[in-house]
Structure 1
Amino acid sequence: MSKRTVELHWGKHHQDYVDGLNKQLATSPLYGYTLEDLIKEAYNNGNPLPEYNNAAQVTRL
């Protein structure tokens, strides 16, 4: 993987997930959960809540 690819992914793409999750959590009852607990709760027994996608992507470090 090239340096440029990593910079684009972590510098832009990943940041979009972080920003999206922070925006969603500002008005969510899931605010304050650890990232691990947030993912478990947001998975919602196979019917994912909107926060799930962003939270799951944030963990891909």
Structure 2
Amino acid sequence: MMSTLHLQRNRRDTCNFDKEFTKMPVDLTPTDKLVIMNLDQDEFLGFSYTNPEYLAPAN
């Protein structure tokens, strides 16, 4: 049985996700600085990304 996907109304639209997941509390896990420090940065050579919705803090 195939379900129908609905077009997103906006970027935050969650209509295609089961309510079981969208009602769950958010559990943010702090990043492990040691893991981050040991990542092979060569895998990111030539990659850059800036979130278009990012607002720099005012000084």
Normalised to the residue count of structure 2, the TM-score between the two structures is 0.19
Larger radius of gyration: 2
Name the structure where helix makes up a greater proportion of residues. Answer: 1
How does the TM-score come out when normalised to structure 1? 0.19
